[in-house]
Amino acid sequence: IDAPEFGQPFGEQARQALGRKLGGGHVRVEGDARDQHGRLLGTLRIADR
């Protein structure tokens, strides 16, 4: 998910929008690759979807 970081403009709004999309469900991350900045790259799976 490419979204603003928490400290960037609209970061908090992005966090809230993602929370609404998840609906409080469990999330599984598949993959363990990292980008040049050390961020995890993978596929998110939301329970029951």
Please name which of 36, 38, 41 lies closest in space to residue 1, comparing C-alpha atoms.
Answer: 41
Q: Quick one: DSSP state of residue 8? A: S
For the cut 90, the answer to whether the pLDDT of residue 1 exceeds it is: no
Binning pLDDT at 50, 70 and 90, where does residue 49 land? low
What pLDDT is stored for residue 11 in this prediction? 94
> Domain segments of the chain: what residues?
11-46
For the cut 80, the answer to whether the pLDDT of residue 5 exceeds it is: yes
Q: What is Dmax (Cα atoms) for the chain?
A: 32
What pLDDT is stored for residue 12 in this prediction? 93
> Tens digits of per-residue pLDDT, 7-38?
999 999 998 998 888 887 788 889 989 999 99
**Taking a C-beta distance cutoff of 8 angstroms, is the pair 3, 24 a contact?**
no
- Distance separating alpha carbons of residues 38 and 14, to the nearest angstrom: 21
**pTM score, two decimals?**
0.58
